[in-house]
Chains A and B, each alone.
Chain A
Amino acid sequence: DAGITQSPRHKVTETGTPVTLRCHQTENHRYMYWYRQDPGHGLRLIHYSYGVKDTDKGEVSDGYSVSRSKTEDFLLTLESATSSQTSVYFCAISAMAGVGSYNEQFFGPGTRLTVL
């Protein structure tokens, strides 16, 4: 299995509090991604990174920010958590990207976040 860890694995928090989720990889892959998974929606991309300090928005980025100061770490922050952000969050990594290129993504174990 690809060396991807996520922390915490489970978290319960209250509305309005800040929350940071961490994704750590040991594969030295350039590309990293944050997804959320909700019933009836499959996985949806929140943000992605194509290098250190290089990030961009995905399809559901409102209310989330990310940072990548090192190749191995990609942080997802909910500045002020809301109940609609209750979800399972998955981090993924890939060695390559780009249309026309092979781009297998490896997924972490997920973080289950509950916002009360």
Chain B
Amino acid sequence: KQEVTQIPAALSVPEGENLVLNCSFTDSAIYNLQWFRQDPGKGLTSLLLIQSSQREQTSGRLNASLDKSSGRSTLYIAASQPGDSATYLCAVGSSNTGKLIFGQGTTLQVKP
């Protein structure tokens, strides 16, 4: 049974810092991995999707990596801004039907 874990559960950093959010999964047989952002009371916004054949994806100040053999993904945020404050969710696509298995999320606070 696939399990997804995100560490840390919460993180507070000063503005301008580069930071890394971690996601680990127990079964390396995945189809893809998706990172989302959720603002309080809002829905999920897709940030990056990494297919199982890829090693990383980049979008602006965000870079996500995938290491299937070790069951890990990281989301790197460069030059953090207060507007980056949100909960970041990692989700693994473990079946060919597209079903996503989510971690609990990391709540990020970037202080001005």
Binding partners A and B: no
B residues neighboring A (CB under 8 Å): none
